[in-house]
């Protein structure tokens, strides 16, 4: 076993790093080490988990997720053994699996013990075999569907897509991912995307000044569309923590959407919330694979703020529905509080290109 592989096994096996600063430093080092892995070392690490690892331990799943997200495709030759060992969680480890693996997962849907994880893993494959399986169960719901929180086909959202009425795949994210970084970062670039711009109006619910969370000078640079031009993700940074907030455009000006529905609970007083920082992040000059930030809990040393890519859901996938046309909205970016202060939680930004409607939601542990 190489020293590099041993160092990563030691990192994942350590449960107490002594201090937050040391934890962050070790996470950054682990991320860099993953980036340096050779193909042989990637295989060696995966085989360690499969042959010698404690399959129920957190660190075994962490290693598999890191390999899947930092080296997409590195687990492809291991998928069959993973299924045989019923190692189905986290589903992202099956991204890129072939149709034979998808069919094996489909065969597990009648197994009460593995159904939920099999559905998530299928979503991360998303090939025609999976699309057909979801379409079949949408048309003829199995008896076990009533035991799920959502219909089987809605699991597709976990993999960043949805099943169309025709039974095909509609992607809900863009594969190009560009990190948002501190303005002082070495690879910080220009201002085609701005963050944290104070809005002109106040929130009708809490009276706090609205925030233009993301401002795209030209959203077509990031989302395939025709003539969209500028797009502004307008929100209340407090109220969006309790429910989805929609925005609209009125003669080129971002405004509060008339169909916003007040959440059942809002804080009595938002004045003690600190102001959202002005322009805390800028666009990086580097892109990254959309899987690099795909999992919030398992990936060390990753800054999750980005434009494009797939959402880093802290909880379950929750793509909003456009209040004007009822279409599932496209994900366009996210801002993680951890990237500019010691807070937690992620704001998710979505856009309906047809209606020019925006949405902001929020998740935290």
SS3 assignment, position 49: helix
- Which of 142, 171, 200 finishes a domain? 171
Whether residue 122 is found in the same domain as residue 190: no
Displacement of CA 95 from its chain's centroid (Å): 14
Whether residue 99 is found in the same domain as residue 139: yes
The mean-pLDDT minimum among 60-64, 102-106, 177-181, 218-222 falls in: 218-222
Q: What is the mean pLDDT of residues 129-154?
A: 97
Whether residue 121 is found in the same domain as residue 196: no
Residue 278 confidence (pLDDT) above 90? yes
* Banded pLDDT at 56 (limits 50, 70, 90): low
Whether residue 162 is found in the same domain as residue 222: no
Number of Cβ within a 10 Å radius of residue 184: 7
Assess contact for 241 and 345: CB atoms under 8 A. Answer: yes
Whether residue 259 is found in the same domain as residue 112: no
What would the pLDDT profile of 147-170 be if each residue is shown by its tens digit? Answer: 999 999 999 999 999 999 999 999
Whether residue 336 is found in the same domain as residue 226: yes
SS3 assignment, position 283: strand
* DSSP H or E segment with residue 46: helix 39-51
Q: What is the mean pLDDT of residues 128-138?
A: 98
Whether residue 164 is found in the same domain as residue 34: yes
Whether residue 140 is found in the same domain as residue 64: yes
Whether residue 151 is found in the same domain as residue 250: no
CA separation for the pair 91, 338 (Å, rounded): 25
Whether residue 120 is found in the same domain as residue 224: no
Whether residue 34 is found in the same domain as residue 108: yes
Whether residue 288 is found in the same domain as residue 358: yes
pLDDT at 189 (0 to 100): 82
- The rounded percent of the chain whose pLDDT value lies above 70 is 97
Give me the number of domains the chain comprises.
2
Question: Residue 97, preceding bond cis, omega within 30 degrees?
Answer: no
- Which of 130, 152, 171 finishes a domain? 171
**Domain coverage including residue 64:** 3-171
For residue 168, give the nearest of 119, 204, 127 by alpha carbon: 127
pLDDT at 57 (0 to 100): 77
What would the pLDDT profile of 160-205 be if each residue is shown by its tens digit? Answer: 999 999 999 999 999 999 999 999 887 888 678 999 999 999 999 9
- Which of 120, 145, 171 finishes a domain? 171
Residue 49 confidence (pLDDT) above 60? yes
């Amino acid at each position: 076993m190489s020293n590099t592989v041993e160092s990563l096994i030691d990192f994942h096996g350590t449960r107490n790093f002594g201090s937050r600063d040391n934890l962050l430093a070790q996470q950054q080092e682990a991320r860099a080490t993953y980036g340096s892995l050779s193909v042989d070392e990637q295989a060696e690490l995966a085989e360690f988990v499969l042959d010698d690892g404690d399959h129920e331990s957190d660190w075994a799943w962490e290693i598999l997720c890191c390999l899947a997200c930092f080296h997409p495709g590195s687990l492809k030759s291991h998928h069959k053994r993973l299924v045989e060992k019923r190692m189905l969680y986290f589903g992202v480890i099956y991204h890129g699996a072939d149709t034979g693996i998808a069919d094996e997962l489909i065969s597990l849907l009648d197994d009460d013990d593995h159904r939920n994880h099999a559905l998530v893993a299928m979503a991360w494959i998303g090939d025609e075999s999976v699309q057909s399986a979801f379409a079949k169960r949408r048309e003829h719901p199995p008896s076990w569907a009533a035991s799920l929180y959502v219909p089987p086909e809605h699991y597709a959202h976990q993999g960043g897509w949805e099943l169309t009425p025709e039974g095909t795949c509609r992607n809900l994210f863009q594969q190009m991912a560009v990190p948002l970084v501190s303005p002082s970062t070495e690879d910080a670039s220009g201002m085609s995307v701005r963050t944290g711009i104070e809005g002109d109006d106040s929130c009708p619910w809490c009276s706090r000044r609205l925030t233009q969370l993301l401002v795209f000078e030209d959203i077509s640079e990031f989302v395939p569309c025709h003539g969209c031009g500028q797009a502004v993700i307008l929100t209340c940074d407090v109220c969006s923590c309790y429910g989805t907030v929609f925005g609209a455009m009125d003669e080129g000006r971002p405004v509060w959407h008339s169909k916003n529905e007040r959440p059942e609970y809002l804080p009595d007083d938002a004045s003690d919330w600190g102001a959202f920082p002005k322009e805390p992040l800028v666009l990086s000059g580097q892109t990254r694979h959309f899987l690099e930030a795909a999992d919030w809990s398992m990936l060390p040393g990753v800054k999750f703020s980005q434009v494009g890519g797939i959402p880093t859901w802290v909880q379950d996938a929750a793509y909003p529905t456009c209040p004007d046309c009822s279409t599932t909205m496209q994900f366009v970016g996210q801002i993680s509080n951890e990237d500019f202060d010691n807070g937690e939680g992620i704001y998710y930004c979505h856009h309906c290109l047809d209606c020019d409607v925006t949405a902001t939601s929020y998740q935290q542990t």
